[in-house]
Structure 1
Amino acid sequence: MNTHGDDTDLLDDYLRAALARLGPADFEAVIRAADATCLLLADGQPAVLAGPDGAAFGADLQREYLALLAVLITGRTDHPIVPLPGPDGTCGWAVIEHHLTQDPRTLADFCTRAADKARDSARTGTALEQLWRAS
């Protein structure tokens, strides 16, 4: 739900709930990643994620990170977040608008198109990396 009275802070409420869901170490990793992402993006740089103790971000931390960025960018907490299976079997996530969730076919079509685009982007990235290494 996205309705808050004038005396509540939407981000504060969201962060308290995220801390309860994640625990201190994972929460700190998500906050640090979101903060670093905001700084990098503001400076036109790509973002790199690292979990607690420098470990890779797992699917749960990726989802929380994406949810936090959605709150920071839109000022709303009501975006659905849907899983997107990756070509290698790992799970990715997408923040979507509610209208996409109203019809199962529309949602499935969106997820298929997003997965196809990710697969195409991965192939393009691999091809570009091979060209770069060959030169």
Structure 2
Amino acid sequence: MNDANDSGSDDGRIDNVSLYMETLKARMDPEQYDVLAKAVHETAHLIAEGHQAGPVGDASQFTDDVQREYATVLAILLTGRMDHRLVEMPGPDGSPGFAIVEASAADDPAKLQELREKHRHFVTEAAGPLQRACRHRPRQRPELRRLTMRRATHPRTAPRRPTRPGR
């Protein structure tokens, strides 16, 4: 599936993403494809402008299929390669999950098991300190949190100091 232009150049990456998106358009539900195309478009613009890619679009519209294809497209966009594979990567509690790995790792059961163990270990190690930190943080009422965030992001809503005449 790799083309000669997979060297990682921007043109090669865009060509590979375009090719993959065309195949998705032919096999995905049109509504799901539209959600995916919009998310990919927004993400590509964020990356091109030097921003960190983050969640885009309405999370409720990101079905499992859309999430999997979005992850695959991101892997192509970031690496320029099309030989990644999507594999099951359950959480430590057995919850479903997936990861994008290199084809060589996906084809090697021992390597794949090693990656799953590292993932499980990382998640369980990170979960402990995060849970403790969240427990010690004072809870804030949701309406106050929204107000605080709004003031931080919208200067027009921030309180203004009264000005005195003559100053």
Q: Is the 8 A contact 1:36 1:47 kept in 2?
A: no
Contact 2:35/2:61 (8 A) holds in 1: no
> Structure 1: which amino acid aligns with 2:33?
F
Residue 59 of structure 1: CA displacement? Answer: 2.5
Q: CA RMSD in A?
A: 3.0
Change (3 A) 1:124 1:28: farther
Find the structure with the greater CA-based Rg. 2
Letter in 2 for 1:43: H
TM-score, normalization by structure 2: 0.62
Larger deviation: 65-74 or 120-129? 120-129
CA separation of 1:106 and 1:134: change in aligned 2, threshold 3 A: same
> SS at the partner of 1:80?
strand
Q: After TM superposition, list the pairs within 5 Å mapping 1:1-135 onto structure 2.
A: 1-3=1-3, 9-38=15-44, 39=46, 42-44=50-52, 47-51=54-58, 55=60, 57-133=62-138
Using the size of structure 1 for normalisation, the TM-score is 0.73
> Percent identity among equivalent residues?
28
How far apart, in 2, do the equivalents of 1:19 and 1:123 lie? 42
- C-alpha distance in 2 between matches for 1:110 and 1:90: 16
Task: For residues 23-56 of structure 1, give each alpha carbon's deviation from its aligned partner in whole angstroms, at most 9, with x where no partner exists.
Answer: 2211222233334444279334x722545xx515
- Which secondary structure state, in structure 2, belongs to the residue aligned with residue 133 of structure 1? coil
SS of 2:81's equivalent in the other structure is coil
Q: Is 2:87–2:106's contact at 8 Å kept on the other side of the alignment?
A: no
CA shift, 1:97, in A, is 1.6
C-alpha spacing 1:36/1:125, structure 2 compared with 1 (3 Å): farther
Bigger drift between 64-73 and 75-84 goes to 75-84
Shift of the 106–31 alpha-carbon distance from structure 1 to 2, 3 Å rule, reads same
Aligned positions, number: 130
Runs of 4+ in 1 over 4 A off after TM superposition: none
